[in-house]
Amino acid sequence: GYGTAAGDELMLENAPAEGFSQCLLLLDRQPRIAASQRVLGVGRVAVKLRGGAVRSGQVKSLGYVGSFLSEFSAALELRKLQPKDMTPPMRAILEPKVDLQGD
């Protein structure tokens, strides 16, 4: 579809019922993450995007990425820990090559 820039939001028509919150969108072939949305009516939403100014253009949704963003954020927090403060499962998340004993 086509999105129209209005201030700091992108207005979209024919939106799916679940909307676009935390979806990866291609706006004129540039990847942007939908940070939040306001429902304007049936099939109409106003989306705020991460990563800069909004402009009008062709929009394609690549789907929900919210879970990935949460996991990535948690991994970044783990990286801030000192190695002595990490448990073996924490270390395995940051260094997947480490084998853990157990089931």
The set of long-range contacts for 92-98, using a CB threshold of 8 Å and a minimum separation of 24, is none
pLDDT of residue 99: 65
Residue ranges of E strands in the chain:
2-6, 9-12, 23-27, 30-41, 44-49, 57-64
The pTM of the full predicted model, rounded to 2 decimals, is 0.71
DSSP secondary-structure letter at 85? G
- Give the pLDDT of residue 100: 64
Q: What is the pLDDT of residues 68-85, one digit of tens each?
A: 989 889 889 998 999 899
For 5-25, what is each residue's pLDDT tens digit?
Answer: 988 999 999 888 888 989 999
Report whether 37 contacts 47 (CB < 8 A): yes
**What is the tens place of the pLDDT at every residue in 60-71?**
999 999 999 898
Q: How far apart are CA 56 and CA 70, in angstroms?
A: 28
